[in-house]
Amino acid sequence: MKHIDIDKAVELIKDGMTIMVGGFLAVGAPNKLIEAIVKAGKKDLTIICNDTSFPECGSGLLVAKGLVKKAIVSHIGTNPIAGEKMLANEMEVELVPQGTLIERIRCGGGGLGGVLTLTGLGTIVEEGKQKVNIDGVDYLLEKPLRADIGIIGASAADKYGNLIYRGTTKNFNPFIAMAADIVIAEVEEEVEVIEPHNIHTPYLFIDYIIK
């Protein structure tokens, strides 16, 4: 397992990078790492995550501190600062239906060319996107998403770097772990061995662990 100091982890993140952030409204998010990124003053980030959380935690803290130039998310409604920045053209927001968003991330992690979906047809979601007709039915081609760095939160890691997530902390984390060039996991505890049938994210997807 590759342990890394939280300050060293932050050094891996450069201004202008695309960062995938795990969590659902900060549940399962790497909150201490996010706070360290804010302290370091990283800027011009593109974030890919389920939501912009709340102003005081999760990915929402990055938004509230003005570090994000673009957010690719399924909603921003719980973070009023995100809405204000979007309306003031201070932050670009790409809204993606939640199911489509996770499928795009999954495709990025699996090396697939995209996903075909009915969701968004006949709405503003389809603007500028390719349509593919299969057996007489039109689908939107939604392209894969990848990131320079993925930051995730996990409940536990074993000595090899395998991860488990308890309860709803699992959310987007396993998919993000597959779709970034470098993956940093913030874990709550370390154990000797996680039984193979209990592993949620295998060690081969994890580059660094923060304790």
| CATH number for 195 | 3.40.1080.10
Whole-angstrom Cα distance, residue 189 to residue 21?
Answer: 20
pLDDT of residue 94: 96
Whether residue 49 lies inside any domain: the answer is yes
166 pLDDT tier (thresholds 50, 70, 90):
very high
Assigned domain for 135 exists: no
Q: What are phi and psi of 94, to 5 degrees?
A: -110, 105
Examine residue 11 and state whether it is found in any structural domain, yes or no: yes
User: Do the strands 92-95 and 68-73 form a parallel or antiparallel pair, or are they unpaired?
Assistant: parallel
Mean pLDDT value across residues 69-92: 96
Mean pLDDT of 71-95: 96
pLDDT band at 153 (very low <50, low <70, confident <90, very high): very high
Determine the residue type at 80: P
Domain of 61, in residue numbers: 6-112+145-210
Q: Is 121 contained in some domain? A: no
Structural contact between residues 178 and 153, judged by C-beta atoms closer than 8 angstroms: no
Domain-embedded: residue 130: no
51 inside domain: yes
pTM (2 d.p.) = 0.93
The pLDDT of residue 211 is above 90: no
Residue 6 confidence (pLDDT): 96
Q: For 93-109, what is each residue's pLDDT tens digit?
A: 999 999 999 999 999 99
**Inter-residue contact 27 to 171 (CB < 8 Å):** yes
pLDDT tens-place string over residues 108-140: 999 999 999 999 999 988 999 999 999 999 999
The pLDDT, as a whole number, for residue 1 is: 64
Q: Which two tokens stand for residue 160?
A: 């090899």
Rounded percentage of the chain residues whose pLDDT exceeds 70 = 99
Mean per-residue pLDDT of the chain? 96
How many independent structural domains does the chain possess?
1
Q: Does some domain include residue 77? A: yes
- CA–CA distance, 137 with 141 (Å, rounded to integer): 13
Q: Is a pLDDT exceeding 80 seen at residue 195?
A: yes
Whole-angstrom distance, CA of residue 200 vs CA of residue 207 = 16
Instruction: Give mean pLDDT, residues 3-18.
Output: 96
pLDDT in tens, 38-55: 999 999 999 999 999 999
Q: What percent of the chain has a predicted confidence (pLDDT) above 90?
A: 97
pLDDT surpassing 70 at residue 75: yes
Classify residue 137: in a domain, yes or no.
no
